Amino acid sequence: MKALYIGAVVERTGKTMLTLGLAKNCPGKVGYFKPFKEDIIPVDDRLVDMDAFLMKRVLGLELDEESLSPCRYDLFRPTTMERLLKAYDKVKCDFDYMLIEGARIIQTGYLHDVSGLAFSEAVGADVILVTTSHPNGVERVGMLKRLMETYKLNFKGVILNQTDDPAIEALLNEKGIPVLGSIPTIKELKYYRVKEVADALGADVIVGEEGLNRIVEEVTIGAMRPETAIKYLRRIAKKAVITGGDRSDIQIAALSTDTSCLILTGGLYPEKTVIAKAYEEQIPILLVRYDTATTAEMVEHLIARIDPEDQGKIDLITKVVREHIDLSRIWEK
């Protein structure tokens, strides 16, 4: 059996997307393990890791999410390597390949010797780093390569995600860091659904629940003057409009254009005419208690999830990984 550890250099690199894409392009029977659960979601009265939930369903794995991602990392009450290895041994049977997805950053657990590097060494997994083209991430690749030399493990190389500059790949190669592939920015993979926005904001859905699966491609703040609102909002398709609950002029203008949802801030309910218009157009109105600036910042940091039922997105991820990553180098033993 061959094991691969997928480790993020910095947060928000698309690590889960790449893990899924590699699994869908695997030449043999593939298993999945994520030592530390992080983003927790409720499933049938259980709280499970969101990535384990996704992989179990997409890959048709029989084990439950608790087995696939068993531990929480606590800086002051850390789990032990012995427990992690025992959990891993339970899930690795009968697979040709095991994909091990790391935490938000591969260094998590370093202080207590349960980091992604230590775990990879313990199970004999090859390490693949994932980063974007952000200078901070690129610099850390070099630092981590040096750090990995203090472990007995095989560093396969780095995958660049959301990277449109070929100079980054050339620079890493020049520094002796193998690049396994470079995935350009693909806007379709950054879109999210209204339901994801509502969940992230803890919003109340006042009206338009049937539209929660609408796609959000752009987010804009409705703070313009009423006479320019329609002209401005018509330029942006499939948008979420963030505006104060007392700005009925902006709300009506947004509902008259290609809008995926309204996000009303300050906990202020809209007027009845706005609710009626949203009901007619089947456009969700989300009510949040935060101010406009805070809400905009929260949405800006929202990461598009992968729904196991979204076959179109899964197929796109599979295709993108196949076309932009040197899979022969990934799977070679």
Quote the pLDDT of residue 303: 75
CB count in 10 Å sphere of residue 236: 17
CA distance 169 to 181: 9
Task: Place 305 in a pLDDT band, splitting at 50, 70 and 90.
Answer: confident
- In the structure, how many helices (H) and strands (E) does the chain have? 14, 15
Q: Which amino acid is at 64?
A: D
Report how far Cα 74 is from the mean position of its chain's Cα atoms.
22
| pLDDT over 80 (residue 227) | no
Q: Taking the model in full, what pTM does it have? A: 0.87
How much of the chain is in helix, strand and coil states, percent to nearest 5?
40, 20, 35
Q: What is the pLDDT of residues 122-156, one digit of tens each?
A: 999 999 999 999 999 999 999 999 999 999 999 99
Q: What is the pLDDT of residues 162-196, one digit of tens each?
A: 998 999 999 999 999 999 999 999 988 888 899 99
Quote the pLDDT of residue 94: 87
| C-alpha distances out from residue 238 to 74, 209, 274, 280, 283, Å | 40, 16, 19, 17, 11
Quote the pLDDT of residue 100: 99
Task: Place 222 in a pLDDT band, splitting at 50, 70 and 90.
Answer: confident
Quote the pLDDT of residue 221: 92
In the 3-class helix/strand/coil scheme, how is 239-275 assigned residue by residue?
Answer: EEEEEECCCHHHHHHHHCCCEEEEEEECCCCCCHHHH
CA distance 159 to 169: 9
Average pLDDT of the chain is: 94
Quote the pLDDT of residue 286: 98
Percent of the chain residues past pLDDT 70, beyond the cut: 100
> For residue 43, which phi and psi values (nearest 5 degrees)?
-140, 110
Bridge partners (DSSP) of residue 262 are: 241, 285
Quote the pLDDT of residue 144: 97
Percent of the chain residues past pLDDT 90, beyond the cut: 85
Q: Which residue, among 301, 103, 101, 109, has the nearest Cα to 190 in the 3D structure?
A: 301
Q: What is the mean pLDDT of residues 237-260?
A: 94
Domains of the chain with bracketed CATH? 2-187+306-331 (3.40.50.300), 192-300 (3.40.1390.20)
Q: What is the mean pLDDT of residues 290-318?
A: 90
Q: What is the pLDDT of residues 290-300, one digit of tens each?
A: 999 999 999 98
